[in-house]
């Protein structure tokens, strides 16, 4: 029996991290697959990103035989700088060449040294786990699925993919290897289900190149192409289209510049000589001879494209005649940021192409329904486990599999933290871990929880009121009148009557000369009374803070 524990990647698209467990007698070995970040919901005010909760693995580091990474997207690799320092263990990390390169860049940014080995040489043997990487196509090159074998059976880990039969680099999915393991017998297949709602096949990445060429051909000003920085095939096609139109190419944005450098070093990009120019030299060329490939397609705050659209970038100024191409769709939840960018670019006089006006400037890297049917037909797993989508996608995948002949008991829908047991006949949930939402906020990891977020939401909606009480340090008695300061609640000069009422209310509850004994209890009672008073007066619920000023 094999146990699978998703610490992230179930019921949402990001934050992917899976733990595989194999036990024999009193010995348990653990294999980790992927370690990615997640993106905060709108109500997580101030949060930068999310990382998996690895509390379950703490103290078990000596049982971890290794980490294997499937591909180079941040939602599969970028949590490593946050997770590795929490796990006090020396275990190997394996990835394909490009994924390893991107991962090293990520770790270097944090000053973390880790040995990452290239697994493209063949089968890995990590303890009792035998891992055979299977070449697969996706929106980032050098992607792999994993066949994970133990003495108790085989699991197919099929993270993000599509069947692209005409890929830009000519490397097609290794269907022969999939079929080989399908014939041997797969106990369970974990399968990316994000585009299950779309019938047919996802379009080939090569379709984008033709459209990029058409978009660039007749532009009189400079061309700006924004993409996901890990989409090396898209970058290659943008370069090819620029060369076809006689334009020089400059890369602008740290993530794009780093990824291009890594991809070139590893021979995943082919750039003709004398095409690429340094970004600071771009001003020396006529606009009609320029193609800028920039980061920030998701409208991230402070990103290159956001600063360009806000007319705040030192090197790039947009003007009439320029053309901006969004060769990336908004990640769900980012639509508002992206459309704000488009509006601002249009205000500056640029023409802008995006999915609503030209629908083949981006194609999905995820398999549509017919591709999912094909994968299941090739693998013939006993149990099917949808991953990498929301719960609506998982439910649709269950319908797809049952229509193909799988019984409902052999389609296993999991939650993050479920401990799934898999044997030759079926899969089931054996136990459950209670996982925390781990938020990265600035330099803090995990120090922002539900109470902090609740306070932030309350302040964002209604502002805050600070009441400072003067207290005699020697006697611990209140002396003098309280001071009331507000922020984001009312404009003090125009609401002096309200503030005077509030002061009087505080004085009634905490009169001068009153002895402060159990301050925590007294403070809670007073804040509760002030909450009621302020709501009755204003129909608002600001965050009220009560503090002592001793002298």
Catalytic residues: 192, 366
Q: Is residue 255 within a helix (H) or strand (E), and if so which, with residue range?
A: helix 254-265
Q: DSSP letter for 161, please.
A: -
Nearest to 61 by CA among 83, 38, 40, 36: 83
CA distances from 38 to 12, 48, 270 (A): 9, 9, 32
DSSP string computed for 22-84:
EEETTEEEEEEE----B---TTSTT--EEE---GGGTT-GGGEEEEE-----HHHHTTHHHHG
Contacts of 119 (CB under 8 A, 6+ apart): 68, 94, 95, 96, 131, 133, 144
Contact 159, 70 (CB under 8 A): yes
310 vs 306: CA distance, rounded Å: 6
SS3 content of the chain, % helix, strand, coil (to 5): 35, 25, 40
447 vs 453: CA distance, rounded Å: 11
Tally of CB atoms within 10 A around 66: 20
86 vs 89: CA distance, rounded Å: 9
73 vs 141: CA distance, rounded Å: 10
Q: DSSP letter for 19, please.
A: E
493 vs 187: CA distance, rounded Å: 71
159 vs 74: CA distance, rounded Å: 13
311 vs 451: CA distance, rounded Å: 38
Contact 245, 273 (CB under 8 A): no
Which residue bears the tokens 């649709």?
A: 396
Which residue bears the tokens 């929301």?
A: 390
Nearest to 103 by CA among 136, 142, 72: 72
481 vs 483: CA distance, rounded Å: 7
Tally of CB atoms within 10 A around 61: 14
Contacts of 486 (CB under 8 A, 6+ apart): 463, 464, 465, 466, 492, 499, 542
- As a dihedral over the C-alpha atoms of residue 252, residue 257, residue 261, residue 264, rounded to 10 degrees, the angle is -50
């Amino acid at each position: 029996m094999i146990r699978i524990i998703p610490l992230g990647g179930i019921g949402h698209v990001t934050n992917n991290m899976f733990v595989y467990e194999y036990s024999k007698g009193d010995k348990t070995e653990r294999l980790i697959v992927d370690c990615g970040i997640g993106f905060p919901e709108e109500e997580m005010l101030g949060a930068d990103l999310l990382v998996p909760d690895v509390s379950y693995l703490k103290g078990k580091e000596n049982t971890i035989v290794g980490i294997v990474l499937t591909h180079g997207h941040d939602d599969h690799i970028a949590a490593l700088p946050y997770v590795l320092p929490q796990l006090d263990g020396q275990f190997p990390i394996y990835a394909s060449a490009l994924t390893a390169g991107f991962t090293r860049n990520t770790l270097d940014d944090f000053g973390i040294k880790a040995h990452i080995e290239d697994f493209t040489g063949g089968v890995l043997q990590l303890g009792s786990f035998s891992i055979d990487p299977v070449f697969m196509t996706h929106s980032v090159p050098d992607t792999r699925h994993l066949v994970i074998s133990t003495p108790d059976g085989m699991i197919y880990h099929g993270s993000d993919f599509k069947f692209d039969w005409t890929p830009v680099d000519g490397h097609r999915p290794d269907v022969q290897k999939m079929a080989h393991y399908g014939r041997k017998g797969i106990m369970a297949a974990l399968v990316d289900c994000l585009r299950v709602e779309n019938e047919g096949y996802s379009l080939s990445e090569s379709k984008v190149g033709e459209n990029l060429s058409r978009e660039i051909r007749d532009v009189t000003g400079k061309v700006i192409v924004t993409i996901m920085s890990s989409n090396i095939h898209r970058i290659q096609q943008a370069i090819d289209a620029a060369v076809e139109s006689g334009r020089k190419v400059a890369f602008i944005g740290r993530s794009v510049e780093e990824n291009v450098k890594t991809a070139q070093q590893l021979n995943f990009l082919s750039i003709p000589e004398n095409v690429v120019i340094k970004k600071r030299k771009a001003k020396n060329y006529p606009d009609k001879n320029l193609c800028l490939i920039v980061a920030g397609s998701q409208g991230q705050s402070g990103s290159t494209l956001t600063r360009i659209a806000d007319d705040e970038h030192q090197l790039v100024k947009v003007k009439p005649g320029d053309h901006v191409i969004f060769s990336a769709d908004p990640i769900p939840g980012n639509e508002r940021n992206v459309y704000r960018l488009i509006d601002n670019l249009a205000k500056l006089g640029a023409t802008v192409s995006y999915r609503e006006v030209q629908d083949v400037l981006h194609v999905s890297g995820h398999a549509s329904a017919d591709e999912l049917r094909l994968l299941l037909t090739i693998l013939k797993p006993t149990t099917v486990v949808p991953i990498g989508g929301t719960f609506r996608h998982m439910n649709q995948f269950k319908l797809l599999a049952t229509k193909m002949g799988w019984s409902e008991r052999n389609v296993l829908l999991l939650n993050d933290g479920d401990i799934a047991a898999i044997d030759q006949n079926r899969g089931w949930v054996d136990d459950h871990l209670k996982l925390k939402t781990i938020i990265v906020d600035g330099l803090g990891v995990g120090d922002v929880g539900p109470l902090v977020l609740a306070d932030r939401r309350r302040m964002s909606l209604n502002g805050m009121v600070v009441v400072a009480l003067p207290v005699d340090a020697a006697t611990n008695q209140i002396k003098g009148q309280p001071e009331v300061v507000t922020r984001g609640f009312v404009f003090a000069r125009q609401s002096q009557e309200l503030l005077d009422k509030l002061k009087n209310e505080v004085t009634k509850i905490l009169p001068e000369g009153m002895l402060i004994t159990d301050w925590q209890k007294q403070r809670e009672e007073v804040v509760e009374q002030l909450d009621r008073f302020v709501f009755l007066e204003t129909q608002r619920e600001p965050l009220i803070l009560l503090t002592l000023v001793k002298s």
